[in-house]
Amino acid sequence: MAVRSHGGLLIFFLFSLLNGHSVEASHQIYRRLQTTAAASSPLDHQPYRTGYHFQPPKNLINGPMIYEGIYHLFYQYNPNGVVWGPPVWAHSTSTDLVNWMSQEIAISSSIPSDINGCWSGSATMLPGQKPAILYTGINPENQQVQNLAVPKNLSDRYLREWVKPAVNPLMVPTTVNEINASSFRDPTTAWLLPDKHWRVVIGNKRDQGHRGMALLYRSKDFIHWVKAKHPLHSAKGTGMWECPDFYPVYVDSLLGADTSTVGPSVKHVLKESLDDTKHEFYMIGSYDIRKDIYTPDKGSVEGDSGLRYDYGKYYASKTFYDESTRRRILLGWVNESSSTADDMKKGWSGIHAIPRTILLDEYGKQLVQWPIKEIEMLREKPIDLSGKLIKQGSLIEVPIITAAQADVEISFRLTKLTNVEKFDPSWTDPQLLCSRKEAMVQGGVGPFGLLTLASKGLEEYTAIFFRVFKSRDKHMVLMCSDQSRSSLNPTNDKTTYGTFVDVDPIHGELSLRTLIDHSVVESFGAMGKNCITARIYPTLAIDDNAHLYAFNYGTEKVEITRLTAWRMKKAHIN
């Protein structure tokens, strides 16, 4: 719920502009963190503070873009900290998407149509390299309306000051257009079609809130917007769509596509953040520009059990097209899994996942994601254990110095696929299967994988692993992130996450990359086909007392064809 004012705070925004064209943004809302006077002082030991994940000093975050060679990240922020106040767009800049410098607040309440807060939105690059931000404001009647902000001085590459043209608001809910004034938010990056009209999509719901939809607006001049008769797309039973994102991906290229790219060389992705479940899902499909309608590919699942960028904690994400490197980059917000009391004690809440490059998978059925290559500049002191065999029921330690702040790449070859567990067709929920068959439950082929943030005596660990099953006609590969033993603190949310990976384990290897950063473990299975992000708060496995192991608790041997682990340097963040 983006915009309720009870409770607390925030949303954030991410947004991005691009060197050449579009910019995008997103938003997020968060409601519980009210930083209190009891918040920790900077001198307190902070074992859960991340070393290379973006995190604001307090409160919530969001968003990226690039303008004149500088990346911009905007995020929702409550400047009042202790008490509720209208959220603003805070701003950080970077030249590498790894190290960030804080800038002054970009957008804050100053006009009637945003007097109750500047909520999420997106940036678009207008012709002539002119960035423009569309964002949701809350007006004095507590209605959600859409506003425009533009940079004051285009010669300032840091885009420090933003102004709001007098025409605001640009889009409002009325009885004529029948838009529910409390469910009308989060404009996407706009795109320009050959008919010279801009399009933008805004999150909404209908039918007593059961049908989520992406409302479509058109404009010739970016100022006057007219609602299209039909939404771009809608789906029943999905509830409010927050932070929609709509963009093309090339079918036959490893490059990213600008938001306005259309035609047979691309497919279109539509992503929604579901307010009801706090999960995101996306679809691959076609965009018919004549009818202005989006049609998901046959077999697409719409809603909570559809395809997800991430099967763990990940919400309010947004992509942007980085024209300088021709990549589409995904940014997402990662919520805490600790209790509100613990959040208040540490004085901050919410981090950003490491930015990911997004591509369409070679079979065109899903996306693949990979941490941006710039993050590798933080790697140092590699440990290589490639070529080892892990015997059944055993584990080997990876003797890395800072296992609490590391990057690990491991690949497994399955030497024998004889003793494979049978797959029961009633196992339709991979997350449930992972919690039933957690890391210490012996299998045939698997579980094998990594124990991260582990204490010496294994009182605490977070396990990321695979388990292979045999169904009637094929092998099923389950990927799990098991948080059940992640901390001796009983108040954390230790939900185990899981997903089926669409790979053939017989031919080729099964790979896993895991980014570990004190209280976050981000895992990329099968070269980025399936990702799981988890938040964990160990009490023993902190700082130098954190260990890293590779393990195999199946009855069959597995071979490690590659294992390299690096400690990660700290990034400069704000």
Ligand X SMILES: *[C@@H]1O[C@H](CO)[C@@H](O)[C@H](O)[C@H]1NC(C)=O
Give the x-and-dash track for 48-87 against ligand X (CB under 6 A): ----------------------------------------
Interface with ligand X includes 278 (CB under 6 A)?
yes
Q: How far is the CB of 302 from ligand X (least distance, A)?
A: 20
Q: How far is the CB of 153 from ligand X (least distance, A)?
A: 4
In the complex with ligand X, the residue whose CB is nearer, 279 or 328, is 279
* Amino acid at position 211, single letter: R
Q: How far is the CB of 315 from ligand X (least distance, A)?
A: 5
Q: How far is the CB of 500 from ligand X (least distance, A)?
A: 23
Question: 173 with 183: CB under 8 angstroms?
Answer: no
In the complex with ligand X, the residue whose CB is nearer, 12 or 465, is 12
Phi, psi of 376 (to 5 degrees): -70, -15
Interface with ligand X includes 156 (CB under 6 A)?
yes
Binders of ligand X in range 3-22 (CB under 6 A): none
Residue at token pair 């990594």? 450
Q: Which of 95, 102, 142, 153 binds ligand X (CB under 6 A)?
A: 153
Q: Looking at 152-160, 292-300, 497-505, 538-546, which segment touches ligand X (CB under 6 A)? A: 152-160
In the complex with ligand X, the residue whose CB is nearer, 3 or 257, is 3
Interface with ligand X includes 210 (CB under 6 A)?
no
Burial environment of residue 100 by CB neighbours within 10 A (0 to 12, 13 to 18, 19 or more): buried
SS3 (DSSP) at 377: helix
Interface with ligand X includes 493 (CB under 6 A)?
yes
Q: Looking at 332-340, 359-367, 429-437, 559-567, which segment touches ligand X (CB under 6 A)? A: 332-340
Q: Looking at 40-48, 82-90, 175-183, 400-408, which segment touches ligand X (CB under 6 A)? A: 175-183
The pair of structure tokens assigned to 123 is: 């940036």
Interface with ligand X includes 209 (CB under 6 A)?
yes
Phi, psi of 340 (to 5 degrees): -60, -40
For residue 64, whether the previous peptide bond is cis, meaning omega lies within 30 degrees of 0, is: no
Binders of ligand X in range 423-452 (CB under 6 A): none
Strands (E), 140-265: 144-151, 162-163, 184-185, 191-192, 198-206, 211-219, 225-227, 233-235, 241-250
Q: Which of 124, 234, 337, 483 binds ligand X (CB under 6 A)?
A: 337
**What is the rounded (10 degree) CA torsion for 269, 274, 278, 280?**
-10
Cα separation, 115 vs 87, whole angstroms: 10
Interface with ligand X includes 46 (CB under 6 A)?
no
* Amino acid at position 223, single letter: I
Interface with ligand X includes 323 (CB under 6 A)?
no
Interface with ligand X includes 130 (CB under 6 A)?
no
Contacts of 31 (CB under 8 A, 6+ apart): 1, 4, 7, 8, 9, 10
Q: Looking at 210-218, 331-339, 406-414, 552-560, which segment touches ligand X (CB under 6 A)? A: 331-339
# binding residues, ligand X (CB under 6 A) = 15
Q: How far is the CB of 481 from ligand X (least distance, A)?
A: 14
Q: Which of 41, 155, 175, 426 binds ligand X (CB under 6 A)?
A: 155
SS3 (DSSP) at 244: strand
> Residues for the chain: how many in total?
574
* Amino acid at position 151, single letter: P
Cα separation, 35 vs 4, whole angstroms: 18
Cα separation, 296 vs 301, whole angstroms: 9
Interface with ligand X includes 183 (CB under 6 A)?
yes
In the complex with ligand X, the residue whose CB is nearer, 342 or 409, is 342
Q: How far is the CB of 521 from ligand X (least distance, A)?
A: 15
Farthest CA pair distance, the chain: 71
The pair of structure tokens assigned to 256 is: 């990213």
The H or E element that residue 330 is part of is: strand 327-334
In the complex with ligand X, the residue whose CB is nearer, 181 or 383, is 181
Cα separation, 129 vs 156, whole angstroms: 13
Residue at token pair 């049609």? 295
Q: How far is the CB of 155 from ligand X (least distance, A)?
A: 4
Cα separation, 230 vs 288, whole angstroms: 13
The H or E element that residue 345 is part of is: helix 340-346
Q: Looking at 180-188, 360-368, 400-408, 540-548, which segment touches ligand X (CB under 6 A)? A: 180-188
SS3 (DSSP) at 433: helix
Q: How far is the CB of 12 from ligand X (least distance, A)?
A: 11
In the complex with ligand X, the residue whose CB is nearer, 157 or 416, is 157
Interface with ligand X includes 483 (CB under 6 A)?
no
In the complex with ligand X, the residue whose CB is nearer, 281 or 294, is 281
Q: Which of 108, 110, 180, 564 binds ligand X (CB under 6 A)?
A: 180
Residue at token pair 């920790």? 40
Cα separation, 230 vs 199, whole angstroms: 13
Q: How far is the CB of 59 from ligand X (least distance, A)?
A: 13
Q: Looking at 91-99, 176-184, 263-271, 303-311, which segment touches ligand X (CB under 6 A)? A: 176-184
In the complex with ligand X, the residue whose CB is nearer, 55 or 183, is 183
**In whole angstroms, what separates CA 132 from the centre of its chain?**
23
Q: Which of 12, 13, 15, 30 binds ligand X (CB under 6 A)?
A: 30
Q: How far is the CB of 454 from ligand X (least distance, A)?
A: 22
In the complex with ligand X, the residue whose CB is nearer, 248 or 347, is 347
Interface with ligand X includes 502 (CB under 6 A)?
no
Q: Which of 13, 48, 309, 315 binds ligand X (CB under 6 A)?
A: 315
In the complex with ligand X, the residue whose CB is nearer, 9 or 563, is 9
Q: How far is the CB of 516 from ligand X (least distance, A)?
A: 20
Phi, psi of 290 (to 5 degrees): -75, -45
**What is the rounded (10 degree) CA torsion for 376, 378, 381, 382?**
-20
Q: How far is the CB of 212 from ligand X (least distance, A)?
A: 11
Question: 27 with 2: CB under 8 angstroms?
Answer: yes
Q: Within 10 A of 43 (CB to CB), how many other CB atoms are there?
A: 6
Using CB under 6 A, list all residues that contact ligand X.
30, 153, 155-156, 180, 182-183, 208-209, 278, 315, 335-337, 493
